[in-house]
Amino acid sequence: MLVTAAHAATEQAAEHAAEGNFPPFDSSTFASQLLWLAITFGLFYLFMSRVVLPRIGSILETRRDRIAQDLNEAERLKEEADQAFAAYEQELADAKSKAHDIAQAARDAAKADADEERAKVEADVTGKLEKAEAEIANVKKKALAEVDAIAADTTAAIVSQLIGGTVTKAKLNAAVKVAAEGRE
Amino acid sequence: MANDPIHQFHISKIIPIEVGGLDFSFTNSSLFMVATVAAASGFLFLTTSNRGMVPSRLQSVSEMCYEFVASMLRDGAGSAGMRFFPMVFSLFMFVLVANLLGMFPYFFTVTSHIIVTFALAMLVIGTVVVYGFMKHGLGFLHLFVPSGVPGVLLPLVVAIEVISFLSRPISLSVRLFANMLAGHITLKVFAGFVTSLSALGALGIGGAILPLIMTVALTGLEFLVSFLQAYVFAVLTCMYLNDALHPSH
């Protein structure tokens, strides 16, 4: 059935061609087609070349320029950001070293103060110590000097108690002296 | 008549015009030429009227057409070929839109008439010849004399080159015309099977499924062919223009 239908169709087509009025080869329509093609295509060409293509071209160019411009801007901003970052790092390093210096100076000053204070205190203490020692030695010396007088008095008292007589001061002193020398 | 696959190519007068014995009537073919130009121009004009920095969908279709043809021409004929860009673009859009409009049922296919495709092909070849001689003078004839061919073979080679050059407008026009004609006839024939088979009763309706599927598939194919033939026409135009720009091989 398919085949017969196809056959019928092709036969019909062949019939047309045989009759000579197969439309695409019918030369009586050529003049009209050529004229209208020239008119329509000519107008189309003019419209394309004068209006549409310049417009699309300018749209594309504007976009390309804009993209290039934006890329440049981005590049510039990135450079700026890099510079700012470098400056920041530099400043940070400066600040760090400055802080270190300040801390070092403060530490040195504190140490010097402390040393000075200690030296002062030590000198004070040494002075007081020496003074005290001198006083002690003085007291000792005084005490020792009084020991002889006390010994003489005591001896005079003991002698008067024991033998009921008195001894001259000179004799007592000499005896105490002898005794002290023997003791030493 | 409705089943006649040739009927769709018939030209009928809408407004009869006759000048000096020649028939310049406004026909259905003329109507669809006007429709083709109006559709293509209208689309390209209206979609780009916003001049959007970020294109809308339709605007990007127009831009795609532009860049598609521009890159085709630049690849085919170098940047010097860009002076022919409006012509190549107009040819491509005209053929494409005419082919696509022809895919609508009951619409006339402008490009299914050889005189139309031949006129377009002659426009291309005419441009090549005129521009070739204008730009290179007689040096354009180098086109027919390839360099590096031994003297003995030269007459033969030149003859072949001349014949191939002369056959260009014919091949260019017949390719487009025959593709559109054959495609539409095939579609019509298969669609005709569906109606004539289903008239035969239940069995026929069952049998009509096959040509129906075929018709659907062919419709898809014909859309592809519509685009492809417009593309081929434009690409060959670019190659021929390249000869006009650089005649020495």
Q: What is the pLDDT of residues B110-134, one digit of tens each?
A: 999 999 999 999 999 999 999 999 9
Q: Please determine, for residue A18, whether its predicted confidence score (pLDDT) is greater than 70.
A: no
- In a mutagenesis test of the B interface, which of A2, A27, A50, A67 is the best target, namely the one with the most B β-carbons within 10 Å? A2
- In a mutagenesis test of the B interface, which of A10, A12, A27, A32 is the best target, namely the one with the most B β-carbons within 10 Å? A32
Higher-scoring residue by pLDDT: B101, A146: B101
Give the pLDDT of residue A16: 47
Cβ–Cβ below 8 Å for B86 and A48: yes
Give the alpha-carbon dihedral of A11, A14, A18, A22, to 10 degrees: 130
Give the pLDDT of residue A180: 72
Nearest CB to B192; choose among A5, A35, A40: A5
Cβ–Cβ below 8 Å for B23 and A29: yes
Give the pLDDT of residue B5: 80
Percentage of chain A lying above the pLDDT 90 cut: 59
- Average pLDDT in chain A: 85
Cβ–Cβ below 8 Å for B114 and A24: yes
Kindly provide the ipTM of the predicted complex, given to two decimals. Answer: 0.90
B33 in contact with chain A, both atoms CB, cutoff 8 A: yes
Confidence grade of residue A17 (pLDDT, cut at 50, 70, 90): very low
Confidence grade of residue A109 (pLDDT, cut at 50, 70, 90): very high
Q: What are A36-41's contacts with CB under 8 Å, separation 24+? A: A36/B24, A36/B26, A36/B27, A36/B29, A36/B30, A36/B33, A36/B34, A37/B33, A37/B110, A37/B116, A37/B119, A37/B120, A38/B119, A40/B30, A40/B33, A40/B34, A40/B36, A40/B37, A41/B33, A41/B37, A41/B90, A41/B94, A41/B120
Classify B221 in phi/psi space as left (phi over 0), alpha (psi -120 to 50) or beta. alpha
Q: Return the structure tokens found at B152.
A: 């003995």
Q: Please determine, for residue A15, whether its predicted confidence score (pLDDT) is greater than 50.
A: no
Coil vs helix vs strand at B107: coil
Confidence grade of residue A7 (pLDDT, cut at 50, 70, 90): low
Q: Please determine, for residue A19, whether its predicted confidence score (pLDDT) is greater than 60.
A: no
Overall domain count for chain A:
1
B4 in contact with chain A, both atoms CB, cutoff 8 A: yes
Kindly state whether residue A53 falls inside one of the protein's structural domains. Answer: yes
User: What range does the domain containing A135 cover?
Assistant: 44-183
Return the half-sphere exposure (C-beta side, CA atoms, 13 A cut-off) of residue B92: 26
Contacts of B189 in chain A (CB under 8 A): 6, 9-10
Give the pLDDT of residue A183: 61
Under 8 Å between Cβ of B36 and B230: no
Kindly state whether residue A22 falls inside one of the protein's structural domains. Answer: no
Coil vs helix vs strand at B19: strand
Give the pLDDT of residue A161: 81
Contacts of A29 in chain B (CB under 8 A): 11, 23, 27, 29, 113, 115
Q: Which of B91, B44, B80, B33 lies closest to B234, judged by CA?
A: B91
**What is the average pLDDT across A138-144?**
88
Q: How is residue A51 annotated by DSSP?
A: I
Kindly state whether residue A49 falls inside one of the protein's structural domains. Answer: yes
Confidence grade of residue A1 (pLDDT, cut at 50, 70, 90): very low
Give the pLDDT of residue A8: 53
The residue in chain B having the minimum alpha-carbon distance to the alpha carbon of residue A36 is: B30
Under 8 Å between Cβ of B76 and B241: yes
Kindly state whether residue A1 falls inside one of the protein's structural domains. Answer: no
| CA dist., res. B87 & res. B117, Å (int) | 15
Return the half-sphere exposure (C-beta side, CA atoms, 13 A cut-off) of residue A120: 6
Cβ–Cβ below 8 Å for B66 and A56: yes
Kindly state whether residue A2 falls inside one of the protein's structural domains. Answer: no
Give the pLDDT of residue A20: 54
Kindly state whether residue A131 falls inside one of the protein's structural domains. Answer: yes
B196 in contact with chain A, both atoms CB, cutoff 8 A: yes
Cβ burial of B238 (10 Å; 0-12, 13-18, 19+) is buried
Sign of CA dihedral A21, A23, A25, A30: positive
Give the alpha-carbon dihedral of B1, B2, B8, B14, to 10 degrees: 80
Q: Please determine, for residue A142, whether its predicted confidence score (pLDDT) is greater than 80.
A: yes
Coil vs helix vs strand at B23: strand
Contacts of A43 in chain B (CB under 8 A): 37
Nearest CB to A40; choose among B34, B63, B196: B34
Under 8 Å between Cβ of B173 and B117: yes
How distant is the Cα of A83 from the closest Cα of chain B, in angstroms? 32
Low-confidence ranges of chain B (pLDDT < 70): 1-3, 249
pLDDT tens-digit readout, A64-101: 999 999 999 999 999 999 999 999 999 999 999 999 99
Kindly state whether residue A94 falls inside one of the protein's structural domains. Answer: yes
Q: How is residue B20 annotated by DSSP?
A: T
Return the half-sphere exposure (C-beta side, CA atoms, 13 A cut-off) of residue A96: 6
Phi first, then psi: what are they for A26, rounded to 5°? -85, 105
Kindly state whether residue A83 falls inside one of the protein's structural domains. Answer: yes
